A and B are shown apart, each in its own frame.
Chain A
């Protein structure tokens, strides 16, 4: 009997500790050279897309040929790792994509026309960083003196909102090697950038993670979003709005657009933790809505997510 009590106590203690130690899903960060840097340094390929010329950023070429870019990404990566935020490596991710033949698909799509996503979007979908850290710099020359203008910009890949930025022009120096000047520029700006990033994370803990949610309807769905669901004349989309309100932190969301076939929610503030205390993200939020639709209306639906910040629910069946 004593053994049973002891066993039960151990289980209880473990359960409480696990609950106490549950942590929010950590956003992943990836450094990208900014488009302006890519263009200035001629790492772009111009394609003729049915008469419209489209510029494609060639990240692989930039990483293969530009030592400065390699050094800057490396330096930022080292400093972020020191702060407990190891970065996802762009070069490694590009290699993964190449291995999976994804780049070939990208080329076919871009050359074939009618592309709905840019190669960068494709890359973001595959790499799935939650925060894109864009970096750019330029060298200013005045006689024998040189200085570097350096800029960092953090974008939430889920919401496309700028979450942090830092930048400025360093001191004019004479004779300093460029790698040293670049390293100084990174050191000069990264702490301020991280301070803003921390404010963003704190806001996330206080007000929930900001995600976007798209609700769509298959053509053959038994119900459309404007179908009435009760005698009061409430439509399915009214109930979905109510569900989103009830399941967000302080009921915060914006319905950016809606039609009988789609609802586009933005600035949806979902809780960091689920009811079970486990980490909660856009995918878990979409899954919860999918299950609600099944339980309340016997509607089959498919749910999916991109990273921690973008989710989609398609009503009326499962995706292929």
Chain B
């Protein structure tokens, strides 16, 4: 009995270590995807003052990782990529107009987009994080997941302006 318990304990520790390692690896891969622009972001609707309601599409072998990564992708997209519009909803240009800013301010953005980093302050789930069935697709070995999120672009812009990352409309005057 004691032997069985010992075996079960060791097995569960190894399994949890292994799975957390896999999750961490998937998460790391998702971060690389974000940096390499491997995501899509589209406008869903016009949000309340200063917010953009967007759908961020992320890729991962694990749907949970893709869902979590969508938050990073949404903020990343609003800063660097801009949002694609569609009929009835205007797209938005990126907050950063300097195309090289991500490399030039690498230290800032590495910390900003780290797990649990400051990016979390500017994004929140819509529909309590519920994802519609058609927004989870299996493509090859990966999942492509679309998550609707609200990004507080006004607050994000102000934060980046005060950090000297982007210029404000009134800078220089």
How many residues on chain B are close to A (CB under 8 Å)?
22
Residues of B with C-beta under 8 A to A198:
97, 167, 169
A184 touches B46 (CB 8 A): yes
**In the complex the two chains form, is A85's CB within 8 Å of B169's CB?**
yes
Does B173 count as interface, using CB distance less than 8 angstroms? yes
State whether B90 touches A171 (Cβ < 8 A).
Answer: no
Query: Which chain A residue lies CB-closest to B48?
Result: A187
Known: A171-B45, A188-B46, A195-B97. A201 touches B92 (CB 8 A): no
The answer to whether B168 and A82 have CB atoms under 8 Å apart is no
Task: Give the residues from 182 to 208 in chain A that come closer than 8 angstroms, CB to CB, to chain B.
Answer: 184, 187-189, 191-192, 194-195, 197-199, 201-202, 205
Residues from chain A with Cβ under 8 Å of B89 in the complex = 170-171, 188
CB distance from A125 to the nearest CB of B (A): 23
Q: How far is the CB of A18 from chain B (nearest CB, A)?
A: 17
Q: How far is the CA of A197 from the CA of B167 in the complex (A)?
A: 12
A142 at interface, CB cutoff 8 A: no
A215, chain B: closest CB distance, angstroms:
29
Residue pair B93, A195 in contact (C-beta under 8 Å): yes
Q: Which residues of A contact B91 (CB under 8 A)?
A: 192
Are A201 and B88 in contact (CB-based, < 8 A)?
Answer: no
Give the interface size class of chain A: 20 to 34
A192 to B91 Cα, complex, angstroms: 8
B100 at the interface (CB under 8 A from A): no
Interface of B, helix, strand, loop or mixed by DSSP: loop
Contacting residues, chain A, for B45 (C-beta < 8 A) = 171
Partner of B88, one of A79, A83, A169: A169
B169 and A192 form a contact (CB under 8 A): no
Scan residues 66-93 of chain B and give those whose CB is less than 8 A from a CB of chain A.
85, 87-93
Residue interface bits B40-83, CB-to-A below 8 A is 1, else 0 = 00000111011000000000000000000000000000000000
Chain A residues whose CB sits within 8 angstroms of the CB of B50 once the complex forms: 82
A42 at the interface (CB under 8 A from B): no
Binary interface profile of B, 130-173, with partner A (CB < 8 Å = 1, else 0)? 00000000000000000000000110000000000001111011
B contact residues vs A (CB 8 Å cutoff)? 45-47, 49-50, 85, 87-93, 97, 153-154, 167-170, 172-173
| Chain A residues at the B interface, C-beta cutoff of 8 Å | 23-27, 79, 82-85, 147, 166, 168-172, 184, 187-189, 191-192, 194-195, 197-199, 201-202, 205, 272
Ranked 10 nearest A-B pairs via Cβ: A84-B170, A171-B88, A26-B173, A83-B169, A195-B93, A188-B46, A188-B90, A184-B46, A168-B90, A187-B46
